[in-house]
Amino acid sequence: MPKSNRRIDVIDHTRSVFKSISWRVVATLTTMLIVYFFTKEIFLSIGVGVVEVVAKILLYYIHERMWNKIKWGKKDHPLSDIPVNRKLDPKDREIIVKKLKDLGYID
């Protein structure tokens, strides 16, 4: 069986917010430059950028969260149906990793 180094990532709301903001900075600057290129109006460019950034951050965040709920294209981890009540302690993690190795699930 091939060795897999895949991690299980949980995407939380904070990550989605920061990802949305970083993308909007790049996209809004692009829009402002395009508006300025066509109109040579700096205040119009800034105004369009402000309206665009607010609307599109909100829409992108909603879009991102909706896609996170769609199962299509995702593979469930074999242990994803086990409810976990708290963060794993390092010692507990070591015990689990050792047991998975003993059972042959990981190398």
- Give the count of domains, the chain: 1
Residue 38: inside a domain, yes or no?
yes
Residue 33: inside a domain, yes or no?
yes
Q: For all residues of the chain together, what is the average pLDDT? A: 86
Residue 7: inside a domain, yes or no?
no
Tell me what pLDDT residue 78 has: 82
Residue 65: inside a domain, yes or no?
yes
Residue 82: inside a domain, yes or no?
no
pLDDT band of residue 5 (cuts 50, 70, 90) is low
Tell me what pLDDT residue 62 has: 94
Place of tokens 């290129």: 37
The structure's pTM equals: 0.48
Domain residues for 18? 13-77
Could you say which DSSP state residue 78 is in? T
Q: C-alpha distances in angstroms, 5 versus 2, 56, 75, 106?
A: 10, 35, 15, 10
Tens of pLDDT, residues 41-82: 999 999 999 999 888 888 988 998 999 899 888 888 888 888
The angle at the Cα of 103, spanning 10 to 87, to the nearest 5 degrees, equals: 30
pLDDT band of residue 23 (cuts 50, 70, 90) is confident
Tell me what pLDDT residue 77 has: 80
